Structure 1
Amino acid sequence: MLYSKKNYSARKQTNRSVLKRWKRRFYVLQQSRKHQPKFSWQHILLSYLGSFIGIAVLAYLSVYSSYPLIAAPFGATAVLVFGVPDSPLAQPRNVIGGNLIGALTCVTLVHLFGTAPWVMALAVATTIKLTQLTRTVHPPAGAVALVGVLSNAQWDFILTPALVGSIVIVIVTLVFSNLVPGRPYPKHWL
């Protein structure tokens, strides 16, 4: 006989304890679901369509106007304005004001101190602080500040892509959301 009753019993006990650990882990994952938002299929489809249109408009305007109206942080802005349009962080004041503050901060710091790693950290931290003080918190604004330092941004970075790109994505979101029944945007302007 290959397995004795003692070995079989020990293996069975080990398998039970492994199964119990996995059940606990799965239970924890199940519990975290109640803290996460749940979206209807219609909302998911509209977020998909809206973000596609918003980023496409920015990209095509950039190509055909020869002005850089799109930057990586606008991908995160699209997540907010199309994915969770009711969020306070997705409102026009936050999108435009937050990105503008991020751009102003990074350009100022780049001109004062250059592009050293500590300037990257200072730009993001300062952007967070200023957007909190002005009540224009918009998470992609921190990315605007970081991208600005990484790219050694000049003064024109404030206008394009930061300000004009933010205005364009707000306008596209406004038009798209108000064409779709039951999806008003914005909740508030100021």
Structure 2
Amino acid sequence: MRNTIQYLIQRYAFYFGGDQPFVSWAERLRSSAGALVGLMLVMTVAKLLGEFAGIDEWLMASLGASALLVFALPGSPMAQPWAVIAGNTVSALIGISIVIVVPEPLLAMPIAASLAILGMFILRCLHPPAAAVALIAVLGHVTHYRYAFFPVMVDSAMLIIAGAIYSNLTGKAYPNRPQ
């Protein structure tokens, strides 16, 4: 009986995070603190820019997911500056275009997300949170292309700058440099 329970635990632990590598508490706290500092900085500056320009939309909802990649997985190809900035921006442009062309949201959402993924593949800027940017554009009925540049592109660029400064100050090289 005991061997059976141990066997089942080992066999099915994979489905409950058993495949995740160990991360030290120091690294967990470094990543979490970086996301806190980076997001606070980006949100504060974006809000000020939005108020200065008279624009209500100053934040993109998927920025938290982008922050996870930039601060917790800075070595990932999907967390590099081109992937974050271009992936989010092209996805916003595609989502806005689909909103304009396809009026039915239930049809527009999967089309926008799938075309955003295709666009990211073509431009070599895969960034998983960016697929959500296309969905956000559809769900928010965003029909002005300015949204792709502010807040999406500007917030993404500010997140990258904050991530680079924070990571390099705390001993993590970011962005990755070609070898």
| TM-score normalised by L of structure 2 | 0.87
* Match 2:93 to one of 88, 104, 116: 104
| CA shift for structure 1 position 113 | 1.7
| RMSD across aligned positions (CA) | 2.0
| CA shift for structure 1 position 104 | 0.7
Computing the radius of gyration from Cα coordinates, the structure with the larger value is: 1
Question: Could you say what secondary structure the match of 2:6 adopts?
Answer: helix
* Match 1:63 to one of 34, 47, 66: 47
What is the rounded CA distance, in whole Å, between the counterparts of 1:131 and 1:152 in structure 2? Answer: 22
* Match 2:68 to one of 76, 79, 83: 79
**Alignment coverage as a number of residue pairs:** 171
Aligned counterpart, 2:25: 41
For structure 2, list consecutive stretches of 5 or more residues without a partner in the other structure: none
Aligned counterpart, 2:6: 23
What is the rounded CA distance, in whole Å, between the counterparts of 2:104 and 2:129 in structure 1? Answer: 20
| CA shift for structure 1 position 157 | 1.0
User: What amino acid does structure 2 have at the position aligned with 1:121?
Assistant: P
User: What amino acid does structure 2 have at the position aligned with 1:157?
Assistant: Y
Is the 8 Å Cα contact of residues 96 and 145 (structure 2) preserved in structure 1?
Answer: yes
What is the rounded CA distance, in whole Å, between the counterparts of 2:22 and 2:81 in structure 1? Answer: 24
User: What amino acid does structure 1 have at the position aligned with 2:85?
Assistant: I
Aligned counterpart, 1:164: 154
Aligned counterpart, 1:5: none
Question: Could you say what secondary structure the match of 1:63 adopts?
Answer: helix
Q: CA offsets per residue over residues 53-75 of structure 1, 9 Å max, x none?
A: 11111221233332534211111
| CA shift for structure 1 position 20 | 6.1
| CA shift for structure 1 position 148 | 0.7
For structure 1, list consecutive stretches of 5 or more residues without a partner in the other structure: 1-15
Aligned counterpart, 1:7: none
Q: CA offsets per residue over residues 109-144 of structure 1, 9 Å max, x none?
A: 111123521100000000111111211000011000
More displaced stretch, 65-74 vs 172-181: 65-74
